[in-house]
Amino acid sequence: MPLINRATLPQEFFDITSALLLKQPEPQYLHATLWKMALSASFETDAQLGLMVPGREFGSAGADYGSAEDDRLSLSDGLYDTSLTVIPELGQAPGHTVRLNRPVYANTTYTEASREVPSGTTISTTPQSVTSEQANLTLKRYAGPFDQAHGQVRPYGVGRFDSSVMLHRSAGVAGRHLRRDFDRTLDQFVRTLFDQAATIIRPAGMTNDDTSAAAGSFPFSHSMLVETEANMDDANIPTFPNGKRVMVLSPRQCQQIAQDAQFNRQSVFAPDFNPIFAGTYFRSIGQWDLFKSTTLARPANANTIPIHYAQAWGPGAVGSGIGELPRTAYNTQDNYGEDALVVWLLYAAFGVLDSRFIRRITTD
């Protein structure tokens, strides 16, 4: 006997979609936040879609779609803003490239005997030269989102007709995805710059990334902090205004060092640490303020073992500048105001100013 149910009488049943949004696990994009703090520039999406012309704007009907930050693991509100050197000349005509000079000091002989000028000796009148080296930053145009299937930047497209009856605001939907794409792109840019270290610190016995044959055979430990500090001190790498340096670890590296007895005895968690850094701040020990990031590089070696790349740096390692603040841009081909094709645009320059200021610490 047939029953009256959804299968036999589908006209009596329908589905509804709640306006409540579920969380999507997302990293904090620490390096993107770092850049925004240094340059005081963040990407704000538009409240409506379409060209800013009467009759060509739409997308505000429907429930709020929230912000891209709503999904993110709450790790940090920023990092030291002096980690990046801001180049204010970028974006000013004429030219795309700004060159920055760095003095090169000659190390000569400094003994007392070499510097003594005995009575009756004539000091040379032949001058010697001083030298400088240069770092270049070039302004470029960047855009998103990126279409992985076609290998190029392609816009998000929104139709006016359907957006008028959408559950959530179409401007919010497009804006949230634009903001997430922008932040992830920016985080990748800056994180890659801080990966360009002049010196790599490895645990004892680990000669290169492929040495590891089993995960955990070369863990992060207190000795890695001591060795990195000594290495940077020997190279005269400056500290931040608080007298410390920054090190960013992966969650696995944080887990490993938390099991180190010597680290636990000497490290402190400062509950009154600057609230700007609340969340990502992990511990402080000696010369280090340690932070956690989930977007650090973890390439697999020849034995398919993920190798975790921690980063340590002093101020002055990386530079950036903007020619124009990040913005939302629309194509004029809007089908008489019925469609909106939207991308984000950024005129900016990114570059490593001095890789000697950066250290990579590799563990498994």
Return the higher-pLDDT residue of 335 and 308. 308
Per-residue model confidence (pLDDT) at position 243: 84
Per-residue model confidence (pLDDT) at position 18: 60
Residue 292 has pLDDT above 80, yes or no: yes
Window from 44-48, 96-100, 269-273 with minimum mean pLDDT = 44-48
Q: What is the identity of the amino acid at 328?
A: T
Q: What is the DSSP letter of 153?
A: E
> What pTM did the predictor assign?
0.80
For residues 306 and 10, give the distance between their C-alpha atoms in angstroms, rounded to a whole number. 51
Give the tens place of pLDDT for each residue, 161-193: 777 766 667 777 888 888 889 989 999 999 999
Helix (H) or strand (E) holding 102: strand 97-104
Share of the chain above pLDDT 70, in %: 79
Tell me the domains of the chain and their CATH numbers: 25-92+135-193+319-352 (no CATH), 200-315+355-363 (3.30.1930)
Q: How confident is the model at residue 58 (pLDDT cuts 50, 70, 90)?
A: very low
Work out the end-to-end distance of the chain between its first and last CA atoms, rounded to an integer number of angstroms: 64
Return the higher-pLDDT residue of 221 and 16. 221
Q: How confident is the model at residue 217 (pLDDT cuts 50, 70, 90)?
A: very high
Q: What is the mean pLDDT of the chain?
A: 81
Per-residue model confidence (pLDDT) at position 65: 41
Beta bridge partners of 182: none
**Neighbour count for residue 347 (Cβ, 10 Å):** 18
Per-residue model confidence (pLDDT) at position 299: 93
Question: Mean of the pLDDT values across residues 14-30?
Answer: 69
Question: Mean of the pLDDT values across residues 341-354?
Answer: 91
Question: Mean of the pLDDT values across residues 233-252?
Answer: 89
Contact 317, 342 (CB under 8 A): no
149 token code pair: 């299937």
Q: What is the DSSP letter of 13?
A: -
Question: Mean of the pLDDT values across residues 11-38?
Answer: 72
Give the tens place of pLDDT for each residue, 107-142: 889 999 988 899 989 898 999 888 888 888 888 999
Per-residue model confidence (pLDDT) at position 202: 95
Residue 260 has pLDDT above 80, yes or no: yes
Q: How confident is the model at residue 39 (pLDDT cuts 50, 70, 90)?
A: confident
Residue 209 has pLDDT above 90, yes or no: yes
Q: How confident is the model at residue 8 (pLDDT cuts 50, 70, 90)?
A: low
Burial of 329 (0-12, 13-18, 19+ CB in 10 A): exposed
For residues 174 and 299, give the distance between their C-alpha atoms in angstroms, rounded to a whole number. 32
Give the tens place of pLDDT for each residue, 316-325: 889 888 888 8
Q: How confident is the model at residue 201 (pLDDT cuts 50, 70, 90)?
A: very high
Question: Mean of the pLDDT values across residues 194-209?
Answer: 93
